[in-house]
Amino acid sequence: MLKTIVLITSKDPKTSSHVGLCVDVAKLHGATVTGFVAIDEDELRNVGPAGPGAFSYRQSMVQQRVENGFHDAEESLEMLRDVFAGEGIAFSAHEAIGEQDQRLTDAWRFQDLAVLPSQVWQPGLNELGDEESLLHFVAMGLRPLLVVPQGVEGLPKKALVALSGSLDSAKAFKQFVQMRPFGDIPVHIVTVGKPKSGDTPAGLLASAVDYASAHGLEASSEALPQSDQRIDTLIAHAEEVGADCFVIGSSYRHFMLFTRFGSHATGLLRDARHPVFLSH
């Protein structure tokens, strides 16, 4: 199920946790990896208006930013090539010009999984993207995404699956079970409060456990009480049960309307210290 991976590169791939985890996943599944980088030349040229007598200085600064952006991108891809060559993993590079989210959809089109850091780097720019920028990839239709914070080492050993009762969370759970990105690890399935579907927490969880078991995975479950701090509850419970990755669903429509799910996804991507498998 998992044979092709697109990997968003970083300024220093040799020390980036998401690159290390991508190596582990690719080895586990015998997958090929496409390294992706986009140079947004329009953004690099956006340095604001020039003051009186400063036009030539502005032009020089713009040109330098663009040159630095292309240089950083090429250097990053070369480091990625070295990483995957050293691991004996088939690797190709995809370099694009333009807005990162739109170009990434082209690279992702025939990939099984997209792996990216929790703070996405753009060549030539000093600032890193935040958790909200990751949701733009969801809005563009990329799924599933594996978002990896810095500091993660090795393959996760246990997954915490958050079920809300929505079809989106069920889709993410089923995709995770079918794809098995980290192998046959146990899953701990939880609800927080009353499911959106109208099911009882016990009924929804029993069906989910049956599904995981039918696919050969060890599964446990727990109904957590209603909480206004759902993400804090999930993160704390993951620590209690020894889960070191999260599985959560999203909704394109809800994201675009900036409704409740957006805050949940943003919070988990911001605060989680473990990988997040995100789908919709």
Task: Give 55's pLDDT tier (boundaries 50, 70, 90).
Answer: low
Question: Taking the alpha carbons of 161, 165, 166, 170 in that order, is the dihedral positive or negative?
Answer: positive
Average of pLDDT values for 123-137?
78
How far apart are alpha carbons 24 and 28 in whole angstroms? Answer: 6
pLDDT in tens, 37-54: 999 888 888 766 655 556
Q: Helix or strand or coil: residue 159?
A: strand
**Is residue 228 pLDDT above 90, yes or no?**
no
Nearest to 184 by CA among 209, 160, 158, 203: 158
Q: Say what the pLDDT of residue 154 is.
A: 97
List the domains of the chain with CATH numbers.
4-148 (3.40.50.12370), 159-279 (3.40.50.620)
pLDDT score of 131 more than 80: no
Average pLDDT over residues 101-123: 92
Task: Give the closest residue to 146 by CA, choosing from 275, 264, 235, 244.
Answer: 275
Length of the chain equals 280
Q: What is the DSSP-derived secondary structure letter of residue 157? A: S
Whether 252 has a pLDDT exceeding 60, the answer reads no
pTM for this predicted structure: 0.90
Residue 99 is predicted with a pLDDT of 87
Coil, helix or strand at residue 220? strand
Extract the tokens encoding 260.
Answer: 């409740």
Give residue 238's identity as a one-letter amino acid code.
A
Rounded to the nearest integer, the mean pLDDT of the chain is 89
In this model, does residue 260 exceed pLDDT 80? Answer: no
Number of alpha carbons in the 13 Å side-chain half-sphere of residue 149: 16
